[in-house]
C-alpha cells in the first residue's frame, strides 16, 4: 500500500506548496477560525499548520492517515454534491508516504490530545499528548525517500513563492478566517478576519489594486456571481491575477477566462489581461469537482450557461460604470 500511496503522492503532492494547499483545505473543512502556517527552507525543511478546528480523536488519527479514508463522504452518492474542499481522502496518506509527518490533535470532548507519527508511510500507534483543541500538522524532510522529486525542487525562495500563492488563494476564499504565514521566523502575512472582501484583497495586493476594484454582482435562480473586476488601467501582462472561486474553492477555468477577456474587449491593448476577483456560487450538482486530483479544474454540467452568466454580469457592470 505504501507504493500505491507514493504513486498517489506523485499526483497530489508535487512540491511543498501542494502540502500547504491540502492542509489549509483540511483546516477550513474542520471549521477552523484561525489557521497558522509556519515554513522553513521554503517548506522542504518544515511545514507546520495549526488550526482551532474540530480536531480528531485517538481513534480517528490512524484513519486520517490511511489511504482513501475520508470522513467527508458518507456514501458514494455524496460525490455528486460535494460541500467540503476535500473528499478524496488521499492527501494525508500521500504526504505521510513521502515525509516525516506528525499530527497532534484534540477534540472539544477530550481532556487530552493524541499524537501520531508517520515516517515514509510507516504509521505508528497514537500516543496521548497535551495540546489545545484543534490540530497541528508538522511535515519534515519532504521527499526524503523520493530522490527524483527531491531533485526537482527549486530554490527555497521559489518554493516559498508557490506556498505564498497557495496561501493567498485559500485566504482570499475565506476572508472571515484569521490566517498567519511565517517563513523562517519572519511573519509574511497576519490577516485578521474581515467581512469586507476588499480588505483581504488589499492586504495581499495593496492600494493600487484595492483602488481599482469595480464591484459586480448578479443572481439568477441558481448562479450567483459577485466580487470585483478591476479597472482596465491595472491590467497585467499575464492572466495570473484572475482569481476565481467556485463554491469557496479556487479554480482555473479556460472558458471563464475567455468570458473575462470578452468582457474587456476594446478596453485593453492586445496582450494585456484583466485583473479580477470573482466568486461564483451554484448548486453543487451543477459542477463536477472530481476531474482533477488537485481539484484545480472543474467541469460544469452546463458550461455555456455559466459562461454566459459571467459575461453578461461583467458587461452589464461595465456599462454602468465605464461607459
Ligand atoms: P480528505 O480531506 O479528502 O477527506 P485528507 O487525506 O486530506 O482527505 O484527510 C483525511 C481525513 O483526516 C479527513 O477526512 C478528516 O476527517 C481528517 N482531517 C484532516 N485534517 C484535519 C484537520 N485539520 N482537522 C480535523 N480533521 C482533519
Ligand atoms: Mg483534504
State yes or no: ipTM above 0.95.
yes
Question: Is pLDDT of 304 > 50?
Answer: yes
- Per-residue pLDDT, 322: 54
- Per-residue pLDDT, 189: 98
Question: Is pLDDT of 167 > 90?
Answer: yes
CA-nearest residue for atom 2, ligand 1, is 86
Same domain, 240 and 127: no
- Structural domain ending residue among the three candidates 159, 174, 191: 191
C-alpha distances out from residue 137 to 14, 54, 68, 305, Å: 18, 14, 19, 41
Buried b or exposed e, range 152-174, using 16+ CB within 10 angstroms: ebeebeebbebbbebbbbbbbbb
Question: Is pLDDT of 323 > 60?
Answer: no
Q: For residues 273 and 232, what is the distance between their CA atoms, to the nearest angstrom?
A: 9
Q: Is the CB of 244 under 6 A from ligand 1?
A: no
Q: How confident is the model at residue 321 (pLDDT cuts 50, 70, 90)?
A: low
Same domain, 185 and 293: no
Q: For residues 75 and 219, what is the distance between their CA atoms, to the nearest angstrom?
A: 31
Q: How many domains does the chain have?
A: 2
Q: Is the CB of 8 under 6 A from ligand 1?
A: no
Q: Is the CB of 116 under 6 A from ligand 1?
A: no
292 in Cβ contact with 254 (< 8 Å): no
Question: Is pLDDT of 1 > 70?
Answer: no
Same domain, 6 and 81: yes
Q: How far is the CA of 59 from the centre of ligand 1 (A)?
A: 13
Same domain, 163 and 218: no
Residue 284 per-residue DSSP state: G
Q: Is the CB of 53 under 6 A from ligand 1?
A: yes
What's the pLDDT tens digit per position in 78-108? 766 667 777 777 899 999 999 999 999 999 9
58 in Cβ contact with 107 (< 8 Å): no
What's the pLDDT tens digit per position in 27-61? 999 999 999 999 999 999 999 999 999 999 999 99
Segment 242-252 shows an average pLDDT of 95
What's the pLDDT tens digit per position in 180-222? 999 999 999 999 999 999 999 999 999 899 999 999 999 988 9
Q: How far is the CA of 146 from the centre of ligand 2 (A)?
A: 22
Q: For residues 39 and 93, what is the distance between their CA atoms, to the nearest angstrom?
A: 20
Domain of residue 297, CATH code: 3.30.230.10
Mean pLDDT of the chain: 91
Among residues of the chain, what percentage have pLDDT more than 70? 95
Q: Is the CB of 38 under 6 A from ligand 1?
A: no
Q: How far is the CA of 90 from the centre of ligand 1 (A)?
A: 9
Same domain, 7 and 30: yes
Q: How confident is the model at residue 296 (pLDDT cuts 50, 70, 90)?
A: confident
C-alpha distances out from residue 147 to 92, 101, 150, 217, 218, Å: 20, 18, 5, 49, 50
Same domain, 182 and 82: yes
- Structural domain ending residue among the three candidates 166, 191, 216: 191
Q: How confident is the model at residue 319 (pLDDT cuts 50, 70, 90)?
A: low
Question: Is pLDDT of 288 > 90?
Answer: no
Same domain, 151 and 210: no
Give, for 23, the enclosing helix (H) or strand (E): helix 16-29
Q: For residues 63 and 69, what is the distance between their CA atoms, to the nearest angstrom?
A: 6
* The ligand 1 atom nearest the CA atom of 64: 12
Q: For residues 50 and 10, what is the distance between their CA atoms, to the nearest angstrom?
A: 25
Q: How far is the CA of 137 from the centre of ligand 1 (A)?
A: 11
CA-nearest residue for atom 8, ligand 1, is 89
Angle between helices 16-29 and 156-173 (to 10 degrees): 20
Domain of residue 70, CATH code: 3.30.565.10
- Per-residue pLDDT, 84: 79
State the pTM of this model. 0.94
Same domain, 173 and 43: yes
Q: Minimum-distance ligand to the CA of 91?
A: 1
- Structural domain ending residue among the three candidates 126, 159, 191: 191
Domain that holds residue 286: 198-321
Q: Is the CB of 201 under 6 A from ligand 1?
A: no
Same domain, 299 and 150: no
Q: How far is the CA of 298 from the centre of ligand 2 (A)?
A: 17
Same domain, 179 and 212: no
Same domain, 174 and 219: no
Q: How far is the CA of 18 from the centre of ligand 2 (A)?
A: 11
Cβ-defined contacts of 198-205 (< 8 Å, 24+): 198/228, 199/175, 200/171, 200/172, 200/175, 201/172, 201/228, 201/277, 204/168, 204/171, 204/172, 205/241
Same domain, 187 and 286: no
Amino acid at each position: 500500500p505504501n507504493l500505491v500511496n507514493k504513486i498517489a503522492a506523485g499526483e497530489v503532492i508535487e512540491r511543498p506548496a501542494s502540502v500547504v494547499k491540502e492542509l489549509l483545505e483540511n483546516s477550513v473543512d474542520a471549521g477552523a477560525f484561525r489557521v497558522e502556517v509556519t515554513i522553513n527552507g521554503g517548506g522542504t525543511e518544515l511545514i507546520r499548520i495549526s488550526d482551532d478546528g474540530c480536531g480528531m480523536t485517538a481513534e480517528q488519527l490512524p484513519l486520517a492517515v490511511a489511504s482513501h479514508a475520508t470522513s467527508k463522504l458518507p456514501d458514494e452518492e455524496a460525490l455528486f454534491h460535494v460541500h467540503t474542499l476535500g473528499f478524496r481522502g488521499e492527501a494525508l496518506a500521500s504526504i505521510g508516504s513521502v515525509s516525516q509527518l506528525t499530527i497532534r490533535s484534540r477534540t472539544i470532548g477530550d481532556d487530552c490530545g493524541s499524537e501520531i507519527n508517520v515516517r515514509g508511510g510507516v504509521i505508528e500507534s497514537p500516543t496521548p499528548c497535551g495540546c489545545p483543541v484543534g490540530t497541528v500538522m508538522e511535515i519534515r524532510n519532504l521527499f526524503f525517500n523520493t530522490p527524483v522529486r527531491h531533485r526537482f525542487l527549486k530554490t527555497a525562495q521559489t518554493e516559498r513563492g508557490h506556498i505564498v500563492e497557495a496561501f493567498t488563494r485559500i485566504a482570499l476564499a475565506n476572508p472571515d478566517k484569521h490566517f498567519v504565514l511565517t517563513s523562517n521566523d519572519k511573519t509574511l502575512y497576519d490577516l485578521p478576519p474581515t467581512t469586507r472582501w476588499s480588505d483581504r484583497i488589499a492586504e495581499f495586493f495593496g492600494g493600487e489594486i484595492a483602488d481599482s476594484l469595480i464591484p459586480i454582482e448578479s443572481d439568477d435562480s441558481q448562479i450567483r456571481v459577485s466580487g470585483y473586476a478591476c479597472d482596465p488601467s491595472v491590467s497585467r501582462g499575464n492572466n495570473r491575477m484572475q482569481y476565481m472561486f467556485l463554491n469557496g474553492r479556487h479554480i482555473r477555468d479556460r472558458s471563464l477566462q475567455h468570458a473575462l477577456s470578452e468582457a474587456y474587449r476594446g478596453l485593453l491593448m492586445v496582450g494585456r489581461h484583466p485583473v479580477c476577483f470573482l466568486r461564483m456560487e451554484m448548486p453543487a450538482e451543477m459542477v463536477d469537482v472530481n476531474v482533477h486530483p488537485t481539484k484545480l479544474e472543474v467541469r460544469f454540467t452546463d458550461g455555456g450557461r455559466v459562461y454566459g452568466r459571467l459575461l453578461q454580469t461583467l458587461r452589464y457592470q461595465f456599462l454602468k460604470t465605464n461607459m
